[in-house]
Amino acid sequence: ELKVEQNPLFLSMQEGKNYTIYCNYSTTSDRLYWYRQDPGKSLESLFVLLSNGAVKQEGRLMASLDTKARLSTLHITAAVHDLSATYFCAVPFMYSGGGADGLTFGKGTHLIIQP
């Protein structure tokens, strides 16, 4: 069974500050996904990390993957209010009998950025 753990689960921070969200997973995987969800909305893909050492950046967000440590980080630089959302990491998992992967999600990090 794959377990995906995020921390923190809740984060309140001020604009202009930096912070990191952590995602640990329990079984071997060379891929990891980050999604964003705004309140009452669907999930939007942010990053796909496809190999050990992968680093992706989009604006004030940067994600990295260390497959040996089974750890991914999502770093927020100089936070702005528009980044307030819930962020999920997800790891592919082969459910038996299906012949393909589905995603196992962390519980999400609810991020509030205050002026």
Partner 1 sequence: NAGVTQTPKFRVLKTGQSMTLLCAQDMNHEYMYWYRQDPGMGLRLIHYSVGEGTTAKGEVPDGYNVSRLKKQNFLLGLESAAPSQTSVYFCASSYGLDRFRAVEYFGPGTRLTVT
Q: Which residues bind partner 1 (CB under 8 A)?
A: 4, 9, 31, 33, 35, 41-45, 48, 50, 88, 90, 92, 95, 97-108
Smaller CB separation from partner 1, 48 or 55: 48
Smaller CB separation from partner 1, 22 or 105: 105
- Give DSSP secondary structure letters for 9-20: SEEEEETT--EE
At closest approach, how far in Å is the CB of 57 from partner 1? 16
* CA neighbours closer than 13 Å in the CB half-sphere of residue 94: 7
Of 61, 82, 81, nearest in space to 73 by CA: 61
